[in-house]
C-alpha cells in the first residue's frame, strides 16, 4: 500500500494524453507505458538495495552524500526544493484544478487552472504548517477511492466502442523516419516516468519496516508490478474508447471515457474521485521532502530554519517555503506539460546518479548481507541508460525548459560553497 500509494496520484488520469501527443499509434502508446513500468521496476530494485543499507531519514540525499560527495548531495536537495518537489506539486495541483472545472462544468483555461491550483497549494500549505495531518485511516480510504475510480474506469471503458483502429491507421500514414520514432518514443517516456514516480519514497520508511531486508524489496516488487497492471489497463481503455488521435486531444481522458459510457453524470463522478485523491496525494507528499532539507540543515549545508519544528512538531518553515515555490511555478508555467518537462529533466539525472551509488557501496562492501539488486550490473545499467535516454529526449525536444531546470540546478554550486564555508 505504501509503494502503490506513493506512485498512484493523479498523473495516470491525465498523462495518457501527453504520451499520445508524442506517439500516435495504440501500440506505441501502450509500449511507452510498458517500458516506463520496466524502468520503474529496475529503479525499485536499486532503491531497495540502497535503503536496506541506509535507513536514516534523507533518502537520496544520504546515498549521494555517502557514496559520492556532499556537493552532489547538496545539488540534489537544492534541485528537490527548487525544481523536483515544488514542480511536481505544481503539476499535480494543475491536475486537481482541471478536474474541478470538469466537475462543475466550467470551461477551463491555463490561467484559471493556475489560479485554482495556487489556491489549493496555499490552503494545503497552511493546513500542513498548522499540523493537521491525514491519519493512516484517511490515507487508506483515499487509496481505496483511487483504486475504485480506476476499476470503474476500466470496467466502464471496455463497454465503449471507440475509433481506435481507424485513427491508428490514419496516424501511421505519415511514415515518420526511424530517428523521429526514436525521439518521439523517448519523449513519450517523460510523462510515463512522471506518473510512475514515487516508488523511491518507500526508502524513507525503511527504518520502520519489520524485517526490511525481506519485506521492503517484496513490497517494492509487488507494488510496482501492481501499478504496471493498473496503468496498462487504464491506457488500454483510453485508447480503446477515444482512439490514439482522440486521446491526444483531451486533457482529461479518464473523464472523457466515463462521459462516453455514462454521460455527464459519469464524467463528473470520476472527476470528483480524481480531485479528492489528488488532494490526498498532494497533502501527503508535502511532508516527505522536508526530511531532505532537514538532513541538509543538520549537515550545516542549508538554512538552519529548515530544520526548525513548530509546537506541532512540523517543519513549518520548510513546508511554507516549498509551498510558496510551488505556487510560483504553477503561476509562471501554468501549463501541465511545461511543468512536466521542467521537473523530469533534473529528476532523472539524480535517479541515474543515485543508481550509480550501488557500484560504490558494493566496491566498499558496505553491509554485504543487505538486499541485492537482481541481475546487477545489467539491471542497474539498464536503469541508468534509460535515464540518459529520457534526459537526451528532453534536451532535444524541449531545450528551453531543460536550460531553465539545469540552470537552477547548477545555481546550487556557488550556494554549496557558501554554506560549506560557514559550516567549517
CATH number for domain 2-423, candidates 1.10.150.170, 1.20.1260.10, 1.20.1250.20, 1.20.1740.10: 1.20.1740.10
Looking up cell 543487505, which residue turns up? Answer: 370
Question: Which of 287, 48, 95, 292 has the alpha carbon at shortest distance from 191?
Answer: 95
Q: Using one digit for the tens of pLDDT, what is the confidence trace for 67-103?
A: 999 999 999 999 999 988 898 889 888 888 888 887 8
Question: In angstroms, what CA-CA distances link 187 with 60, 157, 389, 395?
Answer: 25, 26, 9, 10
pTM of full prediction above 0.85: no
Residue range 167-213, pLDDT digits in tens: 343 444 456 677 778 888 888 888 888 888 887 776 766 655 677 67
- Residue-wise pLDDT for 201-229, tens only, equals 767 666 556 776 777 778 888 889 999 99
In the block, residue with C-alpha cell 495516470: 12
The secondary structure element, H or E, covering residue 255 is: helix 253-285
What does the domain layout of the chain look like in residue ranges?
A: 2-423
Place 367 in a pLDDT band, splitting at 50, 70 and 90: low
Distance, CA of 44 to CA of 373 (rounded, Å): 9
Cβ count near 65 (within 10 Å):
23
pLDDT band, residue 416 (cuts 50/70/90): very high
Give the pLDDT confidence score for residue 74 in this predicted structure.
Answer: 94
Amino acid at each position: 500500500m505504501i509503494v502503490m500509494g506513493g506512485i498512484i496520484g493523479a498523473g495516470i488520469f491525465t498523462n495518457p494524453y501527453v504520451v499520445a501527443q508524442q506517439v500516435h499509434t495504440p501500440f506505441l502508446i501502450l509500449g511507452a507505458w510498458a517500458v516506463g513500468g520496466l524502468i520503474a521496476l529496475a529503479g525499485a530494485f536499486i532503491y531497495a538495495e540502497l535503503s536496506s543499507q541506509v535507513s536514516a531519514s534523507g533518502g537520496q540525499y544520504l546515498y549521494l552524500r555517502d557514496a559520492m560527495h556532499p556537493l552532489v548531495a547538496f545539488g540534489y536537495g537544492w534541485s528537490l526544493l527548487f525544481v523536483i518537489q515544488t514542480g511536481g506539486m505544481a503539476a499535480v495541483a494543475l491536475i486537481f484544478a482541471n478536474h474541478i472545472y470538469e466537475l462543475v462544468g466550467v470551461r477551463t483555461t491555463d490561467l484559471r487552472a493556475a489560479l485554482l491550483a495556487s489556491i489549493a497549494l496555499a490552503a494545503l500549505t497552511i493546513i500542513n504548517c498548522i499540523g493537521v495531518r491525514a491519519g493512516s485511516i484517511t490515507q487508506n480510504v483515499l487509496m481505496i477511492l483511487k483504486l475504485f475510480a480506476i476499476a470503474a474506469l476500466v470496467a466502464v471503458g471496455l463497454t465503449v466502442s471507440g475509433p481506435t483502429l481507424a485513427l491508428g491507421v490514419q496516424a501511421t500514414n505519415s511514415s515518420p523516419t526511424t530517428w523521429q520514432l526514436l525521439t518521439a518514443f523517448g519523449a513519450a517516456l517523460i510523462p510515463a516516468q512522471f506518473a510512475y514516480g514515487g516508488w523511491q519514497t518507500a526508502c524513507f520508511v525503511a527504518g520502520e519496516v519489520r524485517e526490511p531486508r525481506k519485506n521492503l524489496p517484496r513490497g517494492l516488487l509487488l507494488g510496482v508490478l501492481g501499478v504496471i497492471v493498473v496503468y496498462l489497463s487504464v491506457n488500454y481503455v483510453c485508447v480503446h474508447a477515444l482512439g490514439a488521435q482522440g486521446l491526444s486531444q483531451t486533457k482529461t481522458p479518464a473523464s472523457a471515457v466515463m462521459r462516453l459510457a455514462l454521460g455527464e453524470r459519469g464524467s463528473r463522478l470520476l472527476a470528483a474521485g480524481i480531485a479528492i485523491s489528488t488532494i490526498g496525494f498532494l497533502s501527503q507528499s508535502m511532508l516527505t521532502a522536508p526530511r531532505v532539507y532537514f538532513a541538509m540543515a543538520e549537515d550545516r549545508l542549508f538554512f538552519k530554519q529548515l530544520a526548525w519544528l513548530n509546537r506541532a512538531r512540523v517543519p513549518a518553515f520548510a513546508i511554507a517555503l516549498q509551498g510558496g515555490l510551488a505556487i510560483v511555478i504553477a503561476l509562471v508555467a501554468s501549463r501541465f506539460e511545461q511543468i512536466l518537462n521542467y521537473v523530469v529533466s533534473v529528476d532523472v539525472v539524480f535517479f541515474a546518479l543515485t543508481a550509480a551509488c550501488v557500484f560504490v557501496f558494493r566496491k566498499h562492501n558496505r553491509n554485504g548481507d543487505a538486499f541485492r539488486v537482481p541481475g546487477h550490473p545489467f539491471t542497474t545499467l539498464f536503469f541508468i541508460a534509460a535515464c540518459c535516454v529520457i534526459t537526451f529526449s528532453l534536451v532535444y525536444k524541449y531545450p528551453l525548459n531543460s536550460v531553465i531546470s539545469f540552470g537552477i540546478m547548477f545555481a546550487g554550486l556557488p550556494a554549496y560553497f557558501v554554506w560549506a564555508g560557514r559550516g567549517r
